[in-house]
Amino acid sequence: MGKQTGFIDYTRENPSKRDPFERTKNWQEFQLLMPESSLRTQGARCMDCAIPFCQAGTDMIGSGEIGCPVYNLIPEWNDLVYHGKWKEALDRLHKTNNFPEFTGRVCPAPCEGSCTVAINDDPVSIKSIEYHIIERGFQEGWIVPEPPQTRTGKKVAVIGSGPAGLSAAAQLNKAGHLVTVFERDDRIGGLLTYGIPDVKLAFGIVERRVSLLEAEGIEFKTGVDVGKDVTARELRRKYNAVILATGATKPRDVDTEGRELTGIHYAMDFLTANTKSLLNSNHRDENYISAKGKHVVVIGGGDTGADCITTAVRHGAASITQFDINKQKSDVREPDNAWPLFPIVHNVEDAHKESEAVYGSDPRTYKVQTTKFVGDKEGNVRELHTIQVETSFDENGHKVRTVIPGTEQVWKADLILLAVGFTGPEEAVLDSLQVERTSRQTVKAEYGKYETTQEGVFAAGDNRRGQSLVVWAIHEGREAARECDRFLMGDTYLP
């Protein structure tokens, strides 16, 4: 602990961002780098707690979670930044996290919710410090390929190149195995590339890391749909082990009158097509779902819905509305959400700030349930009908929606985006490898062990855990690599 009174002497400072209105005119990342002096001051706010809840990881209290899933050594690199030891801080950061440049941009920072300073003050700016450590490392040229000195001769196939697949591949490669990553899309990155708008995580950032992994010896094969282009039998014959990291990509639908109308799309189809067109032609090919001039309604109050807002506002939508079926969260923690749990509170995300800057108000409306979609004679959606509901829980903990009479409303809607979550992984690859599923349709593989019902086949990330965070995918990819290495070699030194 470099400065014992740092958390008393200094207040939290967040990195500057480009103006919400101005940044909607392009697709550039908008977070700006902080001065080194400010970062060192922020590092000084860390108390170096005897029990650092910020890095506690998978510890659970009730139904909540605390700390960093990848066990980042947060107090250590906070103190190193305070003392200006940036390269040492980078070494400590990479010790637990393969891709800080991803989490430093898109992670909701559960670590900050568990920061001890956050008991009665603003938490340490952990996410900002992480972001700046990794970017400093790239700027200084400290991050270079580090291929393994020896090879085991064992071959591993990783199916899926999202955060779970990439972290598993990186770790297995470090152990000396020959790793091939299969991706059915045309670019590596999975949801990092096509599920998150470029303004939040530019493809160049993903590509930068993938180039390093290639230089370290990992082979990437794009445009390969396992189960179709290559059979499960071929994989099992050619590779000593397989890791499934295919994500949970089956979108949840809404069973509502008028669902068949043109103009109603899954959020991920909207986001993926936008990014693909942006990267291929800067949208000149017009091969995407445009929101320009349209009244856009986003159904779903989560991060994917916010990403739809980020995208639609840059298209030039006529209006944007986001429906959340739940009530607006409190500005402070509820009694059942006490520290050090991840804080479930009302937040104004960057997407909402942008929408307000362009259209004059926060786009969100709460306690809204869609009752039907209405279209014109050509079958295009034109209206959306809703009613307000109250949410409660029955004796079994199941949600109950109760309609509030007299709250019916009609909304203009030319483009409706469904961002109501995912139901699990797609079946084709899982069926081809004959792995069993749970009652939730996720891959049956025990947490901490990750081996499926097929020997030598492991699963990590959203296809095993269910829809979750990038940082959890990285955590599971690392752990699955450890268990895969143990399976291949009889023992392992991977963390």
The string of pLDDT tens digits covering residues 371-405 is 999 999 999 999 999 999 999 988 888 889 999 99
In a domain, 92, yes or no: yes
What is d(CA 334, CA 328) in angstroms, rounded to the nearest whole number? 13
Residues 468 and 327 in one domain: no
Residues 273 and 363 in one domain: yes
- Contact of 96 with 79, CB cutoff 8 Å: no
Residues 337 and 445 in one domain: no
Residues 54 and 86 in one domain: yes
Query: Domain tally for the chain?
Result: 3
- The pLDDT of residue 76 is above 70: yes
In a domain, 380, yes or no: yes
Last residue of some domain: 79, 113, 140? Answer: 140
- Contact of 181 with 490, CB cutoff 8 Å: no
Over the chain, what is the mean pLDDT? 95
Residues 323 and 296 in one domain: yes
What is d(CA 398, CA 366) in angstroms, rounded to the nearest whole number? 20
User: Could you tell me the two tokens for 110?
Assistant: 């559960």
Residues 282 and 232 in one domain: no
The string of pLDDT tens digits covering residues 319-332 is 999 999 999 999 99
- Residue 258's pLDDT is 96
Mean pLDDT value of segment 74-101: 96
Whichever domain contains 39, its CATH number is 1.10.1060.10
**Sheet with strand 155-159: strands edge to edge:** 219-222, 178-183, 155-159, 241-244, 457-459
pLDDT band at 3 (very low <50, low <70, confident <90, very high): confident
Last residue of some domain: 420, 447, 470? Answer: 420
- Residue 395's pLDDT is 87
Most confident of the following: 305-314, 340-349, 428-437? 305-314
pLDDT band at 444 (very low <50, low <70, confident <90, very high): very high
- Residue 90's pLDDT is 98
In a domain, 46, yes or no: yes
Dihedral pair phi/psi, residue 172, rounded to 5°: -65, -35
- Residue 61's pLDDT is 55
- Residue 62's pLDDT is 56
Whichever domain contains 378, its CATH number is 3.50.50.60
| Percent of the chain clearing pLDDT 90 (strictly above) | 90
pLDDT band at 57 (very low <50, low <70, confident <90, very high): confident
pLDDT: is 397 or 315 the higher one?
315
- Residue 59's pLDDT is 52
In a domain, 495, yes or no: no
Parallel, antiparallel, or unpaired for β 64-65 and 60-61?
A: antiparallel
Question: For residue 208, what are the domain limits?
Answer: 155-249+423-489
- For the question of whether the overall pTM of this predicted structure is more than 0.85, the answer is yes
In a domain, 15, yes or no: yes
Residues 361 and 239 in one domain: no
Residues 334 and 441 in one domain: no
- Contact of 156 with 241, CB cutoff 8 Å: yes
What is d(CA 33, CA 17) in angstroms, rounded to the nearest whole number? 9
Neighbours of 135 (CB within 10 A): 17
Residues 314 and 263 in one domain: yes
- Residue 63's pLDDT is 57
pLDDT band at 58 (very low <50, low <70, confident <90, very high): low
Last residue of some domain: 140, 166, 195? Answer: 140
- Residue 279's pLDDT is 98
- The pLDDT of residue 25 is above 80: yes
Residues 431 and 416 in one domain: no
Residues 112 and 213 in one domain: no
In a domain, 443, yes or no: yes
- How far are the Cα atoms of 126, 159, 181, 356, 464 from residue 163, in angstroms, in the given order? 21, 12, 12, 32, 14
- Residue 419's pLDDT is 97
- The pLDDT of residue 480 is above 60: yes
In a domain, 274, yes or no: yes
